[in-house]
Each structure stands twice: as structure tokens, then as C-alpha cells.
């Protein structure tokens, strides 16, 4: 009856025994029971089945009782009870299922939304990554632009400094370039004359040098060799700052003395200076005092040891008081007989091999007035005649006079000359440094900080030095003006010295050293009383020097030569004053040349 209520076959059956038998007779009943849609049970079906069970409680409907009656009934009863129990459980579980279903739907919806959000987040993350990448790229570009802006700003500043700093140099370089371009065509003749000067002129006096160089110049003109007219040799070899430095160290500034300085420093062979007045000796000692100059004579026992050290370490060496004979041990040095071993120049001195340093310099000086050297010695050295000239001695005596009269003025003048020399050397050094930086600069010149720094320093120092030079030039001009007031005294002293020196032509005993002359000259000035008026003072100095030195010279000569000396001195004084008539002097010395030879023979 309960099976019919549950309708396992799916057909609508009555609760009659006939329908029950019909259902039981269905061959597929077992399969239908297995496939029964248990979730389709209704509440009415459950109530009906429950009522049937309740109404038949007195029949003791149980699985055990049914098993005793019918195994098929037992199976059906178990199935019915299971279905009813399922329904009861399902009835309580259904809300939970619905809730689970709702929650699953909500979960699915949420997961769908989450997936959408994840997709959105992925898109946003990708977009953010792109934006970050773009931002980073833009930041790098910005930094690069900032760096480029800084570089451009720095280059602009550097360009301004370069333009400003090199503007003054441009005009000077253009001027020098034009001069070099003009002088290039004359270089052959100038070099020829310079080579002749260095090779042959050292031993000659100023007058003979001038004559020989004039003849060489005439020969060059005749052969149409391009050269500089009225060439000054000193301008070929030395610059103004070098001349200033030489003058500051004691070399007279006259042309002959400058030529001697060139021969001493530029000749290929070591110089031997004929220096009776010790001018070259003093100048060399002053010039190389800061270069650890070694001074020896050939009579010193240890001169060879010191010479070896000077050769090895590139020092400056000076032999003073050299005679007409030189020690044969010097021959390898004078001839520069060195050989190359392992990349070094080596010279043999005695039984020793000494490394030859190219910075080594050797000077020789003799006090002999007219030494005679053998051709062998002449071929090994450059002979330089430092015999004093009238102008050179006049300049030297001017220093003595000014120092005697105004020592502070002379000290100030020497200080100014030294400072000007140093400043001119510094300017040349700065210019060379700037040119070196410009020539060695690689890459963009505007990025060369060292060049800009050098240019700034050069400009700053150049302006400072230029100002100092202008001030020094004005001061020097004022001091020179004051010094020039005493030139007549120095000129008279020079005349007196050359008049006394010319006595050596009469007798070799009449040699006068410059030191003894200077001593007498200073003594003559000490005897003059002070005068308020400068002109009177100068005239008194001239008179005193003339009188004192005349008496001093006459004391040392024979009586028969005193009139000759007096006449010679008078002629030189008149010639200096422009009062000497050379024609009258010629007539006085030689007589009337139109008259025949005298009948009386000459006594001498």
C-alpha cells in the first residue's frame, strides 16, 4: 500500500490490492526502485505513508516480522522506510541545501566579481608598470637634460672665459704669426750669419766683430740670399726677458757684452772666457748660483773628483784663473768624447767610466789680458773675448757712482731690475703653459677644466704682473732719470780707464786692472766735498776723478811716457765733448803730407 503511495513506477495507482499486484508484477520494479527520484517525494506522500504505518502499529510492522512473512516484502519495507527516512532528513537538510546553493551562487558571483577585480587589478598593474616605466624613463631623460643643461651652462661659461681670456692673446699671436711669416723667407740668411757669428766671432773685439759681420752681410747681399737688414744677433738668440735676467745678474747691457753672453751660453763647444776685468766670472757665478755651481781652479787637488760629480749629475762647473795651458785630463770633456752604453752616454776619464748628463755645463775663465792658446786648445773650446768696452764700462761705473752718491737709489734700481726680470720670465712661463694646455687639449676644449683654470690664472697673474711692470717701469724711468744725472762722471771714468789701458801699447808693464781702477775711482769720489747744487757736485766729481786717476797713473809710468799719456787723455776728453777736430789732429800727428820727405831721418 505504501509503495503505491510512493509510485515507484511513476504511474498513478490506487491503494487497492489490485494496483499493488500490478506494481509488483512490473519486471523493471527493482531498477525503478533503484532509480527512484527520492527528491520528488511530497509532504502528502510522507503523511500518507506515516499514517499507514501508524494505523498498522498493532500488526507490528517491522523488518523482522516482514522477513518471516516475505523476503520481497522485507525488501520493499526497507526501501519504503529508507525513502521516508531520507525524506525526513532531506526535509531538514533542504533549507541548508538551499542556503548552500544560495551561498554557492553568491560565491560564484563573488568569485566572478573577484575574477573581474583581479583582471582589473592586472590591467591596472600593467598600466601602473607602464606608467612607472614611463616615469622612470622620463626621470632619466629629465636628469639627462639637467646634466646636459649643466654641461651646456658650464661650457657657455667656459666659452665666455675662453673668448674673454684669449681675446688679448689673439692680437699678440696674430702679430707674432705675421712676424714669423715675414721672417721665414729671411731665415736662410739670418741662420748663415748666426752660424758665422757663433763659429768665428768669439775671440774678436767689438770693432773687429762689427767689421767682419758687415763683410759677411755684404757678401750675402751680393749673392742675393734673403736675410734681415741690419740684423741684431742678440735678437736671434735671446728674448727681452733673458736680456733682463742677464743684466740683473751683472752682465753689462751693451751690444758687445750681450754678444759675449750669447757666445758663452749658445756655442756648441764649452766657452773659455778671456776675462781680465772678471765681468764674465761675476756674471756666471750670479747666473748659476741657484743651480749648485761648483767653482774650482786647475791647481786644486780635488778638481777632478768634483768635475766627475758635476758631469754625472748634470751640474754647472766653473774653472777660474785658467792659464795658457789646460790639463790634458780635460780633453775628453772638452771634446765631449762620450759613447752610448745601454741607452746612457758614458765618458771615460782616466780609468773611470762616468755617466754623462746632458744638463752638464762647463765654463772656463782666464784673467790673462792677451793669452796665446795653441790651435789644439782653440779647436776644443769656444774662445770668448770679454774685454771691456767703453760703453759697458761706462754703465758699470754709473752703478758705482750712483751707489756712492745715493746708495738707496741704486739698491732700489737693482731691486726693480731684478723684479722686472722675474716678472717678465713669469709672463713667458705663463704664456708657454697656456700654449701647452691648448696644444695638448683633447676632446671638447670647453670641458678642459685645467685649461680654463690655467687661462684664469694666466689672465689674473698677467694683469697683476702687467700692473707691476707698468709701476716698475715708471719707477725705473724716474730712477733712471736721476741716475742719468751722473752719466758724465761715469763717462769720464771710462775715458780715464781706456786712456790708462792704452799705455800697454807702449810697455807691457803698464797693465791696469779694473779692480785697482775702481778702487781709485771710489777714492777720488770720497775726496769731493758735498755741494747743495747737483751740477756743482757732478763737476767736482769729474774734476776729482780726472786729477786723482791722472796722478795715480803717472806715478806708475816713466817720465818719457807722461806727456804721451797726457796728450792721449786730452784727445779722448775733447773727442767726448765734441771739441776735437780730427783733421787738425791728423795734421798735428802727420804734418803736411804735400811736403816731401824730411831730409833728417826719423829718430825712432
In this predicted structure, the answer to whether residue 597 has a pLDDT above a threshold of 60 is: no
In this predicted structure, the answer to whether residue 311 has a pLDDT above a threshold of 60 is: yes
Q: Which pLDDT score, from 0 to 100, does residue 499 have?
A: 92
In this predicted structure, the answer to whether residue 604 has a pLDDT above a threshold of 50 is: no
Q: Which pLDDT score, from 0 to 100, does residue 281 have?
A: 93
The string of pLDDT tens digits covering residues 408-418 is 877 777 787 77
Q: Which pLDDT score, from 0 to 100, does residue 430 have?
A: 77
The string of pLDDT tens digits covering residues 65-86 is 666 666 666 767 777 777 777 7
Q: Which of 124, 38, 139 is nearest to 88 (CA)?
A: 38
Give the model's confidence band at 419: pLDDT under 50 very low, under 70 low, under 90 confident, else very high: confident
In this predicted structure, the answer to whether residue 16 has a pLDDT above a threshold of 70 is: no
In this predicted structure, the answer to whether residue 222 has a pLDDT above a threshold of 70 is: yes
- Cα 327 from chain centroid (whole Å): 45
Query: pLDDT higher for 15 or 295?
Result: 295
Average pLDDT (386-405) is 85
Q: Which pLDDT score, from 0 to 100, does residue 66 have?
A: 62
User: What helix, strand, coil percent values describe the chain, rounded to 5?
Assistant: 70, 5, 25
Give the model's confidence band at 97: pLDDT under 50 very low, under 70 low, under 90 confident, else very high: confident
C-alpha–C-alpha distance, residues 405 and 537, integer Å: 10
Chain position carrying cell 752660424: 195
The string of pLDDT tens digits covering residues 27-37 is 566 666 666 66
In this predicted structure, the answer to whether residue 64 has a pLDDT above a threshold of 70 is: no
The string of pLDDT tens digits covering residues 483-540 is 889 899 999 999 999 999 889 888 888 888 888 888 999 999 998 887 778 888 899 9
H-type alpha helices, 406-485: 407-440, 449-484
- Cα 19 from chain centroid (whole Å): 128
Average pLDDT (430-436) is 77
Write the DSSP symbol of residue 389.
P
Q: What's the sign of the alpha-carbon dihedral 265, 212, 274, 271?
A: positive
In this predicted structure, the answer to whether residue 391 has a pLDDT above a threshold of 70 is: yes
Domain ranges of the chain: 37-129, 388-483, 485-604
C-alpha–C-alpha distance, residues 367 and 323, integer Å: 8
Give the model's confidence band at 382: pLDDT under 50 very low, under 70 low, under 90 confident, else very high: very high
* Fold of the CATH domain 485-604: Helicase, Ruva Protein; domain 3 (1.10.8)
- Cα 230 from chain centroid (whole Å): 38
Q: What pTM was computed for the model? A: 0.62
Please tell me the class of the 388-483 domain: mainly alpha
Phi, psi of 530 (to 5 degrees): -70, 140
C-alpha–C-alpha distance, residues 502 and 327, integer Å: 33
Classify residue 234 as exposed, middle or buried by CB count within 10 Å of its CB (0-12, 13-18, 19+): middle
3-state secondary structure of 345: strand
Q: Which pLDDT score, from 0 to 100, does residue 103 have?
A: 87
CB of 395 closer than 8 Å to CB of 386: no
Q: Which pLDDT score, from 0 to 100, does residue 131 have?
A: 92
Q: What is the mean pLDDT of the chain?
A: 82
Give the model's confidence band at 172: pLDDT under 50 very low, under 70 low, under 90 confident, else very high: confident
Amino acid at each position: 500500500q505504501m509503495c503505491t503511495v510512493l509510485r515507484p513506477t511513476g504511474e498513478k495507482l490506487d491503494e487497492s490490492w489490485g494496483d499493488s499486484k500490478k506494481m509488483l508484477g512490473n519486471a523493471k520494479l527493482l531498477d525503478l526502485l533503484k532509480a527512484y527520484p527520492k527528491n520528488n517525494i511530497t509532504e502528502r506522500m510522507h503523511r500518507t505513508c506515516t499514517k499507514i504505518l501508524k494505523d498498522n502499529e498493532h500488526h507490528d510492522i517491522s523488518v523482522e516480522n516482514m522477513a518471516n512473512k516475505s523476503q520481497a516484502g522485507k525488501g520493499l519495507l526497507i526501501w519504503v522506510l529508507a525513502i521516508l527516512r531520507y525524506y525526513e532528513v532531506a526535509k531538514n537538510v533542504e533549507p541548508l541545501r538551499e542556503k548552500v546553493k544560495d551561498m554557492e551562487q553568491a560565491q560564484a558571483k563573488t568569485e566572478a566579481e573577484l575574477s573581474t577585480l583581479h583582471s582589473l587589478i592586472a590591467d591596472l598593474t600593467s598600466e601602473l608598470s607602464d606608467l612607472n616605466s614611463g616615469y622612470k624613463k622620463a626621470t632619466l631623460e629629465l636628469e639627462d637634460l639637467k646634466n646636459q643643461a649643466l654641461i651646456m651652462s658650464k661650457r657657455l661659461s667656459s666659452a665666455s672665459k675662453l673668448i674673454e681670456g684669449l681675446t688679448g692673446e689673439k692680437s699678440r699671436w696674430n702679430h707674432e704669426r705675421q712676424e714669423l711669416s715675414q721672417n721665414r723667407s729671411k731665415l736662410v740668411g739670418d741662420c748663415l750669419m748666426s752660424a758665422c757669428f757663433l763659429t768665428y766671432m768669439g775671440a774678436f773685439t767689438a770693432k773687429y766683430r762689427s767689421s767682419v759681420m758687415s763683410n759677411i752681410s755684404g757678401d750675402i747681399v751680393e749673392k742675393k740670399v734673403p736675410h734681415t737688414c741690419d740684423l741684431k744677433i742678440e735678437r736671434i738668440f735671446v728674448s727681452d726677458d733673458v736680456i733682463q735676467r742677464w743684466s740683473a745678474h751683472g752682465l753689462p747691457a751693451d751690444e758687445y757684452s750681450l754678444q759675449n753672453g750669447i757666445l758663452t751660453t749658445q756655442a756648441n763647444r764649452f766657452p773659455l772666457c778671456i776675462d781680465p776685468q772678471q765681468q764674465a766670472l761675476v756674471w756666471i757665478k750670479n747666473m748659476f748660483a741657484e743651480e749648485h755651481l761648483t767653482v774650482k781652479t786647475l791647481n786644486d787637488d780635488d778638481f777632478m773628483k768634483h768635475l766627475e760629480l758635476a758631469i754625472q749629475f748634470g751640474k754647472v762647473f766653473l774653472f777660474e784663473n785658467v792659464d795658457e795651458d789646460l790639463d790634458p785630463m780635460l780633453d775628453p770633456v772638452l771634446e765631449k768624447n762620450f759613447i752610448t752604453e745601454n741607452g746612457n752616454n758614458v765618458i771615460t776619464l782616466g780609468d773611470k767610466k762616468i755617466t754623462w748628463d746632458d744638463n752638464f755645463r762647463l765654463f772656463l775663465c782666464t784673467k790673462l789680458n792677451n793669452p796665446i792658446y795653441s790651435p789644439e786648445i782653440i779647436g776644443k773650446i769656444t774662445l770668448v773675448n770679454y774685454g771691456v768696452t767703453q760703453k759697458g764700462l761706462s754703465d758699470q761705473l754709473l752703478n758705482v757712482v750712483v751707489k756712492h752718491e745715493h746708495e738707496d737709489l741704486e739698491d732700489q734700481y737693482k731691486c726693480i731690475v731684478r723684479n722686472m726680470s722675474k716678472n717678465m720670465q713669469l709672463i713667458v712661463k705663463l704664456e708657454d703653459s697656456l700654449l701647452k694646455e691648448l696644444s695638448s687639449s683633447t676632446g671638447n676644449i670647453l670641458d678642459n677644466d685645467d685649461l680654463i683654470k690655467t687661462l684664469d690664472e694666466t689672465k689674473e697673474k698677467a694683469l697683476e704682473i702687467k700692473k707691476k711692470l707698468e709701476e716698475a717701469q715708471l719707477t725705473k724711468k724716474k730712477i733712471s732719470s736721476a741716475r742719468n744725472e751722473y752719466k758724465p762722471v761715469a763717462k769720464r771714468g771710462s775715458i780715464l780707464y781706456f786712456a790708462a789701458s792704452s799705455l800697454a801699447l807702449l810697455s807691457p808693464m803698464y797693465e791696469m786692472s779694473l779692480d785697482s781702477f775702481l778702487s781709485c775711482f771710489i777714492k777720488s769720489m770720497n775726496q769731493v766735498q758735498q755741494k747743495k747744487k747737483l751740477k756743482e757736485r757732478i763737476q767736482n766729481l769729474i774734476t776729482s776723478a780726472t786729477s786723482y786717476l791722472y796722478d795715480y797713473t803717472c806715478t806708475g809710468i816713466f817720465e818719457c811716457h807722461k806727456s804721451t799719456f797726457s796728450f792721449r787723455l786730452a784727445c779722448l776728453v775733447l773727442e767726448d765733448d765734441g771739441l776735437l777736430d780730427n783733421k787738425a789732429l791728423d795734421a798735428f800727428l802727420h804734418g803736411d803730407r804735400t811736403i816731401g820727405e824730411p831730409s833728417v831721418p826719423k829718430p825712432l
